[in-house]
Amino acid sequence: MLLHAKESVRKMHSVAKNYFVSDLTHPPRSLTRASRHVVPFKARLSTQCSLEGRSVDQEIVIAMGSNVGDRVSTFNRALQLMKSSGVNITRHACLYETAPAYVTDQPRFLNSAIRGTTRLGPHELLKMLKEIEKGIGRTGGIRYGPRPIDLDILLYGNSEINSETLIVPHERIHERSFVLAPLVDLLGASGDDGIETSWHSLSKCSGGFFELWNKLGGESMIGTESIKRVLPVGDRLLDWCERTLVMGVLNLTPDSFSDGGKFQQVEAAISQAKLLISEGADIIDIGAQSTRPFAKRLSPNEELERLVPVLDVITKIPEMEGKLISVDTFYAEVASEAVKRGAHMINDVSGGQLDPRIFKVAAELGVPYVAMHMRGDPSTMQSEQNLQYDNVCKEVALELYTQVREAELSGIPLWRLVLDPGIGFSKKSGHNLEVIMGLESIRREMGKMSIGASHVPILLGPSRKRFLGEICNRANPVERDVATVAAVTAGILNGANIVRVHNAGYGADAAKVCDALRKGRSCKN
């Protein structure tokens, strides 16, 4: 596992070495800097005759939009139909809820985009997309009016196409924030990639698509009524930039470092869940397997024996109305059963390393997936080898991005991913402090490879961890709640969107103060 992790890091360093450092904390400036690396490329006017029937893969970008019916389910269906019809999806943009344009008296839209490859010619691809739209239920209507699904070819290889039925690049890209935001997500911050260089030149703008996005307002628009990034979870769309979410910890284990054994009985567990909710928790994270250092690993069946009785009751209590349930597991089998019984999201401390099947399961379940950074497993994560870093924030970003790529290629869209840098996992005390203060640095490193990945929600879990006890000389984990507040506060002010805490009351108060401090500033994540 260690060798695999090291090899992944080596490969990601190789990919990233030619990327310049961008500053996504101030996106307009960074994207302008990125645009200066775009080398002009003479766009080629291609005809249907010369493009159709190509036998080589062409890189493409397809925009998605919907404002009728169950928009998220429609997107999921469209993705599956594209995959089964000749499109290999390699990247996803974030998910955006946007105000309608042109015809404004209609429901709000969901918008996103995918990047992939296909051997279909451009007009064959267009025909296939129209068939998908029709199969999903789109019929004729007023132009720019409501529609269950809209699939547009934004880019096709390095070609410029102008025929009676197809114009590529799409002629209205420059005026549509709901198109440019997802498109930019699919790019890296560098113009060194050959296909991206040609795409930027096709924008007909010296600064490429980055400059077009900035001209419309860029990141300053995100979080406004015009356009918001959202996370589909349960029956809602969460705008994680609106306020910090609090995840309350509910351990069902006898050996967790903080409160092991307290909540093994169903009644005690439900009482604790109610307390967490009353104190301000938005999410209850239920764990039936200890992941403390050197913890004994349970089988999936043993984990389910602890989890199911509590889960079956907690989903039915009135206090859970409007709240979310997360299952803390690295087993695909446990995740599947938990979601079937009412859990809304999967929190995997291994990021798919301990049970690679979990990616496919999470993709099929269609729920948010939290990928945490850890090297090895709980029995080896604090070994000397796994604690070696030259630059902890950079290496955490690179290793997390490897997990993002594996998750996306397994069918989990970027818009259902949450990233956790893994405080206390495979890290010394100093590393934990660097990560908490370096969340923006982690985002910047992500942005060198995928701007969209730099925007996903970050979950931070420093609660009662050993490093806080070392700093404050508190041997008893329960006495570390005040120190936890300090760590949570620093994390939120540096870009965390969800905080995982044992004391939800303290965590909620810290979040409220941090949100008040940030009020009036647009969310830059």
What does DSSP say about strands 369-372 and 417-420: parallel, antiparallel, or unpaired? Answer: parallel
User: With the CA atoms of 129, 132, 137 and 140 taken in that order, what torsion angle do they form, in degrees rounded to the nearest 10?
Assistant: 30
Tell me which DSSP letter residue 20 carries: P
Q: Which among 71, 115, 464, 500 is annotated as catalytic? A: 500
Residue 240 amino acid letter: W
Q: Buried b vs exposed e over 451-460: b needs ≥16 C-beta within 10 Å?
A: bbbbbbbbbb
- How does strand 109-118 pair with strand 167-168? unpaired
Annotated catalytic residue 519: no
Distance between CA atoms of 288 and 301, rounded to whole angstroms? Answer: 11
- Annotated catalytic residue: which of 416, 465, 466, 480? 465
300-314 and 332-340 are packed helices; what angle lies between their axes, rounded to 10 degrees? 20
d(CA 57, CA 411): 20
Q: What is the sign, positive or negative, of the torsion defined by CA atoms of 447, 496, 290, 485?
A: positive
Give me the residue label for tokens 């997309």.
Answer: 129
CA distance 27 to 211: 11
Cα 87 to Cα 90, 114, 121, 126, 182: the distances in Å are 9, 10, 11, 12, 18
**DSSP 8-state secondary structure symbol assigned to residue 107:** P
Give the count of beta carbons closer than 10 Å to the beta carbon of residue 131. 12
Residue with tokens 């300090």: 486
Could you write out the DSSP letters of every residue in 397-418? Answer: HHHHHHHHHHHHHTT--GGGEE
CA dist., res. 46 & res. 159, Å (int) = 6
Residue 118, SS3 per DSSP: strand
Written as six digits, the tokens of 173 are 């890209």
Q: How far apart are CA 256 and CA 290, in angstroms?
A: 5
Active site residue 108: no
8 Å CB contact between 311 and 342: yes
Q: Which residues contact 132 (CB under 8 A, 6 or more apart)?
A: 78, 81, 82, 85, 149, 151
Measured CA to CA, the distance from residue 436 to residue 116 in angstroms comes to 34
Mapped onto helix, strand or coil, the DSSP state of residue 110 is strand
Q: What is the C-alpha separation between 59 and 187, in angstroms, rounded?
A: 12
Q: Which two tokens stand for residue 312?
A: 């079956």
For the beta carbon of residue 500, count every other beta carbon within 10 angstroms.
Answer: 26
Measured on CA atoms in the order 504, 506, 512, 515, is the torsion positive or negative?
negative
User: Is 218 within 8 Å of 478 (Cβ atoms)?
Assistant: no
Active site residues: 465, 500
